[in-house]
């Protein structure tokens, strides 16, 4: 797992969190970005452990595999959105 992989997952998670925040009409943009980034990073790591083909975007020949990179971005974005949705639901239930 390289730093590029982690950055792709975190950025995609933040974008997924922002989209989930807009979908739920959340008024906490910073919280949406942070929860999305954390969810994207952690979720991307879990998906990379479960799905070995997402383990690294760098191929053995020193090139760059765009398909793997897109898979990591989608995984990070989806997990970031899910974590943000959970964050917003819990915040509304507990805080009001």
The 3-state secondary structure of 28-46 reads CHHHHHHHHHHHHHHHHHH
Q: Which of 10, 6, 36 is nearest to 23 (CA)?
A: 36
Give the pLDDT score at 16: 96
Range of the domain at 83: 3-94
Report mean pLDDT in 10-residue bins for the chain, 96 residues: 86 96 91 95 88 62 73 92 94 87
In residues, how long is the chain?
96
Residue among 83, 90, 47 at smallest CA distance from 68: 47
Number of separate domains in the chain: 1
Residue 69: the pLDDT is: 84
pTM, to two decimals: 0.85
């Amino acid at each position: 797992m390289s730093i590029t992989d982690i950055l792709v997952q975190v950025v995609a998670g933040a974008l997924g969190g922002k989209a989930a925040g807009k979908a739920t009409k959340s008024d906490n943009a910073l919280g949406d970005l942070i929860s999305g980034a954390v969810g994207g990073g952690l979720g991307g790591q879990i998906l990379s452990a479960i799905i070995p083909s997402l383990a690294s975007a760098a191929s053995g020949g020193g090139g760059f595999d765009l398909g793997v990179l897109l898979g990591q971005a989608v995984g990070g974005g989806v997990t970031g959105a899910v974590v943000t949705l959970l964050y917003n639901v819990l915040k509304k239930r507990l805080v009001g």
